[in-house]
Structure 1
Amino acid sequence: MMNSLWIAKTGMTSQQNKMDVTSHNLANVSTTGYKRQNAIFEDLMYQNMRQVGAQADEQNMLPTGMHLGLGVRTVATTRNFTQGTPTETSKELDVAINGNGFFQIQMPDGTTAYTRDGTFTRDANGQMVTSSGYPLLDGITIPADATKVSISKSGLVSATIAGNPAPQQIGQLNTASFINPAGLEPIGENLYRESAASGAPQAGQPGTNNLGTVMQGFLESSNVNVVEELVSMIQTQRAYEMNSKAISTSDQMLAKLSQL
């Protein structure tokens, strides 16, 4: 069988994976705190038909070799953690991070997850929770008779209680950063999990230790650029069509060979 059939097949598979990644980016263009993904490719092993630098004869050396490639594969998907545009919502429990860092979320199994989505609300017990109902690791509980909640740039949470004009501190909203945020494991629901590749989290007060500050009344939009994704989609489609054409041409060549 001609190697070109298999080589073109690997190209079509890789471009299909890239299209899946692009579609996922476009689907999450309005997802709060979403970070754009990108597919990474690498070439497969080579058939070494003639070694570089081999002896052509007793006196001469081959200046080049002959290496026939066997295709391509998708080796990884990476995330671009550049900050999305902060969008004002004027909701007192909406919080965006201006700079590096992640909010720390307590999961039902006792582990900690991390997110850039600061769409928080109160549950039946007054705890600050995510849209999925997971509480903040900091365990911030808002009193039932609170009339106003204020969150400073450093994450200090204060509440104004009915009948008392002086704000009372009710908690500290801390954030965490990673040496390699691209190594975080996505688990859905706008959450990430620590992995060996991401390194251990460095938690602290916003505005310290290279952690960004927080902005009350704002949410971070996704960093997906629709125009870039559409251009990538067109390029992916063209590459897929060219690989498909290579398979068709190889098939015609084999058919012609069988007629000899």
Structure 2
Amino acid sequence: MDRALYIAMTGAKNNMAAQAVRANNMANLNTAGFKADFEQSRSMGVYYGDGQPTRAYALTESPQADFESGPMQTTGNPMDVAILGEGLIAVQAPDGSEAYTRAGNLNIDASGTLRTANGLAVMGNSGPISLPPMDKMEIGSDGTISVIALGQTAETMVETNRIKLVKPDIKNLEKGPDGLFRQRDGLPAAVDASVRVASGVLEGSNVNAMSEFTQILSLARQYDMQLKLMKTTEDNASASAQLLQMS
């Protein structure tokens, strides 16, 4: 009886973990550049010494993110950029390490540092991009940043830096709790000149609301099934105890 109880318990626990993944996807339905997380469940045999497993517990894991492009939205804002096809924008994570994102809604802070909407410094040729006071800025298709300095004319537009655009192997990428991608080997990705961006365009989230909602309902039914199995196990244990008392 106890084995059935533990098996059902692991099933219910991992159903909740899968629900958390799907709920996070739904919560980021309108987050620019967000990539939906997959979740999958499998049985994990329990071994005691040599021989065959005595039982199989449930295990839920998130093996990879969905790298399909999200819908492109024309904003007309020169600070918005969207990657066309494969590729990522390099940013400086809060711990100082290099990480990657598809979120291209950029802004310039009071000190002139180019940042993402959540405050991460955008990486350039030699570290975080710092820009001078300006009247106008343009971002080219290769990530090149050109500016017209404050008080100057259009003829004085000059290139000041270039956004670091990378295209690492997605098999070597992992998504952290902060939503940023990093290489599994811990090394920074190399600049890839083939990556292109569109200015004045923003990539939306690639979350499919209908699919996520359907999965949430399915997981809820599975969770109820696991709870019913736990209740049945409890009832069987009580009936067995009564039979032993009668004998």
Assess same fold via TM > 0.5: yes
Structure 2 counterpart of 1:195, which letter? Answer: R
Structure 2 counterpart of 1:144, which letter? Answer: P
Residues 1:192 and 2:181 are matched in the alignment: yes
2:215 aligns with 232
- TM-fit CA distance, 1:78: 2.4
CA distance, structure 2, for counterparts of residue 109 and residue 15 of structure 1: 32
Spell out, residue by residue over 1:147-167, the C-alpha distance to the aligned partner (whole angstroms, 9 max, x if none): x32222122222235442323
Is this contact kept in 2: 1:180–1:199, CA < 8 A? no
Structure 2 counterpart of 1:3, which letter? Answer: R
Identify, as 1 or 2, the structure richer in helix.
2
In structure 2, relative to structure 1, the CA distance for the partners of 1:243 and 1:173 (3 Å cut) is same
Residues 1:183 and 2:173 are matched in the alignment: yes
| 1:55-74 aligned within 5 A | 69-74=55-60
CA distance, structure 2, for counterparts of residue 201 and residue 221 of structure 1: 24
Structure 1 counterpart of 2:141, which letter? Answer: K
Is this contact kept in 2: 1:43–1:69, CA < 8 A? no
Is this contact kept in 1: 2:37–2:62, CA < 8 A? no
- TM-fit CA distance, 1:108: 5.8
1:97 aligns with 83
In structure 2, relative to structure 1, the CA distance for the partners of 1:70 and 1:142 (3 Å cut) is closer
CA distance, structure 2, for counterparts of residue 195 and residue 47 of structure 1: 29
- TM-fit CA distance, 1:252: 1.6
1:59 aligns with none
CA distance, structure 1, for counterparts of residue 68 and residue 222 of structure 2: 28
In structure 2, relative to structure 1, the CA distance for the partners of 1:169 and 1:46 (3 Å cut) is closer
CA distance, structure 2, for counterparts of residue 169 and residue 181 of structure 1: 34
The size of the alignment, in residue pairs, is 236
Is this contact kept in 2: 1:81–1:182, CA < 8 A? no
CA distance, structure 1, for counterparts of residue 182 and residue 47 of structure 2: 40
Structure 1 counterpart of 2:176, which letter? Answer: P
In structure 2, relative to structure 1, the CA distance for the partners of 1:128 and 1:241 (3 Å cut) is same
CA distance, structure 2, for counterparts of residue 249 and residue 102 of structure 1: 50
Instruction: Name stretches of at least 5 consecutive residues in structure 2 with no aligned partner.
Output: none
Is this contact kept in 2: 1:155–1:174, CA < 8 A? yes
CA distance, structure 1, for counterparts of residue 25 and residue 77 of structure 2: 27
| 1:44-59 aligned within 5 A | 44-45=44-45
CA distance, structure 2, for counterparts of residue 67 and residue 123 of structure 1: 58
2:238 aligns with 255
In structure 2, relative to structure 1, the CA distance for the partners of 1:217 and 1:70 (3 Å cut) is same
Percentage of matched positions with identical amino acids = 26
Instruction: Name stretches of at least 5 consecutive residues in structure 1 with no aligned partner.
Output: 52-65
Normalising by structure 1, what TM-score?
A: 0.80
- What is the root-mean-square deviation in Å for CA atoms of aligned residues? 2.5
- TM-fit CA distance, 1:101: 1.3
SS, match of residue 122 in structure 2: coil
1:159 aligns with 147
Residues 1:215 and 2:195 are matched in the alignment: no
CA distance, structure 2, for counterparts of residue 8 and residue 109 of structure 1: 40
1:62 aligns with none
2:133 aligns with 144
Normalising by structure 2, what TM-score?
A: 0.84
